[in-house]
Structure 1
Amino acid sequence: MTPARFDGYGVLITGAGRGIGAATARLLASEGARVLVTDLDAGRADAVAAEIRADGRVAEALVCDVADRAAVEAAVAYAVETFGGLDVLVNNAYACSLDSTLFEDEQDETWHRDLDISLGGAYRCSRAAMPHLAASGRGAIVSIGSVNGLQDFGNHAYSAAKAGLASLTRTLAGHAGPRGVRANLVVPGTIRTDAWAGREAELDRVSALYPLGRVGEPEDIAKAVAFLASSDAEWVTGTSLCVDGGLTAVNTGFRNAVTG
């Protein structure tokens, strides 16, 4: 029998109580990883970890606010102590606020919150995890970006944060490569998560813009994370992998307009 890709790995995932983070936790655990499910919501984190354990896999849950350096360092320390080391960090936690109608009405608090969680959180987690990832000999950081960091889909602060996360991924790759740690970014398009609850009609309209004819599912992103975190991608670092159904490669709206 072929060994699972993550046998013996210790993994920490932020924002893993639902959506992409939860799907990633389930997938990596199914392939042998011991997963620390962190989230601001204790109930959500506990539920995902319990589901994984019920499947005969290893998972722990912990509340972690990625905007709090002490909480981040405590989460990394807990993972290292519980699993005997840390091999993979998945930076998934984010904040995304609605834009004001007029840009001049945007609030500093909103701007700072989105950047501090979506970008600052990945910075704090990567900083705390780095020595342990380097010590593992197979360390990998996989961060979750967004097509918002590539093109205009709204959400000023969130988009700026995701663009910054792509840059952070590249600089981390350059710094950490000689230490044996890889850093990569997954760039999702529209994903069917709780953020779209009650907006099924919008998702149906959006689906028509995707060359592959549908929006993504959390599992689509989890599979990309698993690839980049595994030894299958051992010569891949500093890259941004678009998992977006072709949205940023093909202007479907324009093509439809000119072809009738």
Structure 2
Amino acid sequence: MSGQFAGKTIAITGAAGGVGQWLCRFFGEEGATIAALDRSEKVHELVDTLGQDGITVRPAQVELIETEAVETAIASFGQVDVLINNAGISTNPTLANTTPASWRADMAANLDAAFTCAHAVLPQMVERRAGNIVNVGSVNGLSALGDAAYSAAKAGMISLTRSLAQEYGRYGIRANIVLPGTVRTPIWDHRIAKDPDVLKTLERWYPLGRIVEPYEVARVIAFLASDAASAVTGAVIPVDNGLTAGNIVMARELTVEEF
């Protein structure tokens, strides 16, 4: 796969986050120029951090739900060949502690931001009749796994992806979505501080017996963004070490077998 994205510009939202930084590095090492978008000022640090390895980063600190700000940032990047809607947050573990305001905030940060960014890049992609959008959803979009507002937003991203694929396929634009399971990123640090074994506990729910590494998500996104996936659009692909294949813990208890 080495160098296949050379000369291309890849816009990555949530670029300063755990998975986002991995994506920036992964595609940068493949020769792409990274258009890094994040609401955090840490996005500017990527210029120096990744620049030391020869990766070109063009940062934009922007609120992804602010239409004009996003359109201005996208325009400053020039041609965007691939958009990776990676940004996302979860602030409401349960419905009981979710308020109408916090529900709207999670929906905006996850679903609305993905639409806003897609809306900003689509005109130029339509004009040149080529483009690629990869959304980063979650297995939460398929099942009730807590974080109800986040889960509803990620379910909405699945529908958005399919609509993009249907309506814009005639312009040579592909849209797909990956659904990661638990990914080993710094976002888990506060949970590990409370329970050092939390990730080990979660591993028993995964048929492969481990959680997902960030580079494994990046590899699937890279496939979808590449010419190798030229006939793939509207796809919903779990990257979850088998979590959505079924309930392995329940299966073991039902069969009284360890497998």
Give the TM-score category using the shorter length: over 0.9
Instruction: State the partner residue of 1:228.
Output: 224
The CA distance in 2 between the partners of 1:3 and 1:135, in whole Å, is 28
Cα distance, 1:169 vs structure 2: 0.2
Counterpart code for 1:250:
G
2:58 alignment counterpart: 60
2:47 match: 49
**Alpha-carbon RMSD:** 1.5
How far apart, in 1, do the equivalents of 2:182 and 2:148 lie? Answer: 17
Q: How many residues align?
A: 252
Q: Could you tell me how far 1:4 is from its partner in structure 2?
A: 1.5
Q: Among residues 65, 68, 71, which one is paired with 1:70 in the alignment?
A: 68
Q: What amino acid does structure 1 have at the position aligned with 2:121?
A: A
Give the whole-Å Cα distance in 1 for the aligned partners of 2:27 and 2:120.
Answer: 21
Three-state SS of the structure 2 residue aligned to 1:99 is coil
Are 1:141 and 2:137 matched, yes or no?
no
Task: Give distance in 2, aligned partners of 1:241 and 1:11.
Answer: 20
Bigger CA drift: 161-170 or 219-228? 219-228
Give the CA deviation at 1:56: 1.2
After TM superposition, the runs of 4+ consecutive aligned structure 1 residues lying more than 4 A away are none
In structure 1, what residue type is equivalent to 2:90? C
Tell me how far apart the structure 2 counterparts of residues 151 and 217 of structure 1 sit (CA, whole Å). 21
Structure 1 CA distance for aligned equivalents of residues 249 and 236 of structure 2: 24
Structure 2 unmatched ranges of 5 or more: none
User: 1:76-133: CA deviations, max 9, x gaps?
Assistant: 11111xxxx110001011121123463xx63111110111110000000000100122
Partner of 2:205: 209
Shift of residue 134 of structure 1? 2.8
Whether contact under 8 Å (1:95, 1:113) holds in the other structure is: no
- 1:39-118 to 2 correspondences below 5 Å: 39-42=38-41, 44-80=42-78, 85-100=79-94, 102=96, 106-118=98-110
Which runs of no fewer than 5 residues in structure 1 stay unpaired? none
Instruction: Tell me the residue number matched to 1:244.
Output: 240
Give CA-to-partner distance per residue, 1:50-70, whole Å, 9 cap, x none. 222111121121102112112
| SS of residue matched to 2:7 | coil
Give distance in 1, aligned partners of 2:151 and 2:185.
18
TM-score, length of structure 2 as denominator length: 0.93
